[in-house]
Amino acid sequence: MTAAPGTPGGLDAPAVPGPPSTGSDPVDVLTFGETMLAAQLPGPLAVGAEARTTIAGAESNVAIGLARLGHRAAWAGLVGDDEPGRLVLRTLRAEGVDTTWAGVRSEAPTGGLLRERRVADLVRVHYWRSHSAASLLTPAHLAPALDAGARVLHLTGITAALGVGPLRAVHEAAAHAHTHGWTVALDVNHRQRLWTDGEAGRALLPLLPYVTVLIASDDELPVVTHTLGERPEGEERAVAALLDAGVREVVVKRGGEGAALRDRDGSQHTVPALRVPVRDTVGAGDAFCAGYLSGLLDHLPPGERLARANTLGAFAVASDGDWEGLPRRDELPLLAAAPGTTIR
């Protein structure tokens, strides 16, 4: 599956899949990673707040967001042979996500997290993911999904941080997708509890020649660029360094200030964020990625891709949960309604 970089994948380049294992056309987006059992508390854990159980994971959040917008999204991660794992797969299937290539491992459990609303809109997340089923992911597990083909491969830095096997799977998937002309999207999605800035930068550096679209928050750019030459400082120089390293376009998330895009052809775009009441910021970055990839799949121009990404991010911020409030396609205009509007 691996190949040296050099064959340019393009945003408009069609996927060239191998024989589909299910007899169907390739999916629009293939992603993989860790999805966990999530216990969400409306207040601090210390006072014994009652929890709501659901699932959470960056890659599956993106897959759900895309599926709700009518795209064919597949999630090819691993879960344990346990009730949390069954909840993960059941929820993804109910949301229209293809789990054909997801796997179940009996020797390791499904990971878990607990999210507490500590004070105001400040949220604290605790993880139990060491030695989880997702950490057992290898390129061999992922091979059937890659052979089936996709238009877009969505990767995150989280999966790369889960262990040696997942990191190899990320690298080989990126090389395979690039060679076959897919769009390769990398969300840096840095998690300091999983690895250091230096470890992340060194691991993600070899991916850059394969990446079509790199998505990062403004504070994540130094993580992925500090290994590039003279350690470029400032957003503009960091983005230029990434483009020089082979990335075709860089999308920068600026939170409440909106988002920006710059590509290798010199095109630059900036779109402001939508103003919405903040209920829950967790999952907003994943929603943003889903919106941006949806815009790519719909062949929207850059500014409109950013606008759709901002719209999905706003839905996430204004709703409780990582993915529960994400819109269907006919709901995309809802945030343009006046506050307090009732739709009858």
Select which of 28, 280, 286, 322 is catalytic. 286
In this structure, the number of other CB atoms found within 10 A of the CB of residue 233 comes to 12
* β-strand pairing of 249-253 with 259-263: antiparallel
Question: Is 286 in the active site?
Answer: yes
Token pair 């990062």 is found at 216
Catalytic residues, by residue number, are 286
